[in-house]
Amino acid sequence: MSNKIVEIHESVIETMGRISSFWGFSKIMGQLYGLLYLSSKPLTLQEMAESLSISKGNVSINIRNLLRWNMVKRVWVKGDRKDYYEAETDFWKIIRGVLREREKKEFSQALSSIGKLRQQTKELKRISKTADIAFTEERLKNLEEFIANMDKMVSVFITLEDLKKNFWDLTKKA
């Protein structure tokens, strides 16, 4: 590969690293993904470690996280016992997966926490009608409604994207 194209690859990898840490993943995860995304053939742990000048162990744990988020796939190369990896290139599929597992989980957790606490406050209000209990209940009500709405928005997004995907798959088959 020409010098210039190698430079371009490195810049893309750097950018991916920045994006990755911005979204709360590790920098290395983004860089590994960028490396694989720009590679026309699957790569081994060893190759990735050398390309990014990091240890094999570091690649190992970060690749495992990428696998967990379905951002890379492990592929088989016949006659070679090394593991090979390639990038998942369908970004919408990645987003759907991340929203489903990460955001969804966080929203429902927050929703149930706040819901429970609001319930406790309501019960308290039945017993004693003080100003601060009423105030707390009002605030928790608004908070719970907001989180429920965010939760719904994410669900709608996932559903829409799923529909789009299924429709696309159908048109391809037909």
Partner DNA sequence: TTAATCGTTTAGAACAATCTAAATATATAA
Partner DNA sequence: TTATATATTTAGATTGTTCTAAACGATTAA
Which residues here bind DNA, judged by CB under 7 A?
A: 26-28, 44-46, 53-58, 60-64, 79-83
Q: What is d(CA 108, CA 154) in angstroms, rounded to the nearest whole number? A: 11
Give the nearer residue to DNA in terms of CB position, either 58 or 155.
58
Supply angle C-alpha 57, 62, 68, rounded to 5: 130
CA angle 41, 164, 151 (to 5 degrees): 105
54 binds, among DNA, its own copies, none (CB under 5 to 8 A by kind): DNA
Q: How far apart are the two ends of the chain, measured CA to CA in Å?
A: 40
User: Least distance in Å: CB of 43 to DNA?
Assistant: 10
Count of residues of this chain found to bind its own copies when the rule CB under 8 A is applied: 40
Among 46, 130, 159, 166, binds its own copies (CB under 8 A): 130
Angle at the Cα of 47 (from 10 to 82), degrees rounded to 5? 150
**Residue 46 interacts with which of its own copies, DNA, none, CB < 5 to 8 Å by class:** DNA
